[in-house]
Structures are given as C-alpha cells and as structure tokens.
Amino acid sequence: MTAYTATITVRLKSGVLDPEAETTQRSLERLGFELEDLRSADQFEVDINADDEAAATERVTDMTERLLANPTLHDYDITVQER
C-alpha cells in the first residue's frame, strides 16, 4: 500500500447563485479591488492508503460523489499525489 494525499475542490456550477461569493466580491470592491468575478469553493484534503494512484483516485471520487459534492449543484476537481 502507498500513502496518498488527495485534494478535492468543490464549487458551485456556473449559473447557481453563490451569495457568499457575491458578498465577498462587493466587500473587496468597496476596499478598492477591481474584480471581474469571484467564486467560492470548498477544499478538502484526504490522506488515504491505496494500491496505486488509480485506486486512490477511484476511492476519493466515490467519497466526493457520495458526500462532498452534489452533482446537481457542484463541479469538483480531484488531484492525488503520493505522500
């Protein structure tokens, strides 16, 4: 078994209202920062042991689809690196 760290970034799909990002963007603009757009995202790091990178990615994808992201509302990215 090999130790891996997976990073999962979950964000709302384009077109889904993101009140947290809208509020943050307005606040940054009031502070004088010019922004074209701002999106919020959640990031998770998972340490797991797996036979290989493909197996680690498969397990983390299953975790993400079952709990961390709602496929109707969210897009997600997964990166897996050996520790």
Tokens of residue 53, six digits: 């990178």
pLDDT tens-digit profile of 2-45? Answer: 999 999 999 999 999 999 999 999 999 999 999 999 999 999 99
Domain of 34: which CATH number? 3.30.1280.10
pLDDT tens-place string over residues 34-67 = 999 999 999 999 999 999 999 999 999 999 999 9
Q: Phi and psi dihedrals of 65, rounded to 5?
A: -70, -25
Tokens representing 67 are 């709990």
For the chain, the domain total comes to 1
Tokens of 56: 């680690």
pTM for the whole structure: 0.88
* Alpha helices for the chain (secondary structure H): 19-30, 53-63
Which domain range does residue 11 map to? 2-82
Q: Which of 50, 46, 58, 55 is nearest to 8 (CA)?
A: 46
Q: What is the pLDDT of residue 24?
A: 98
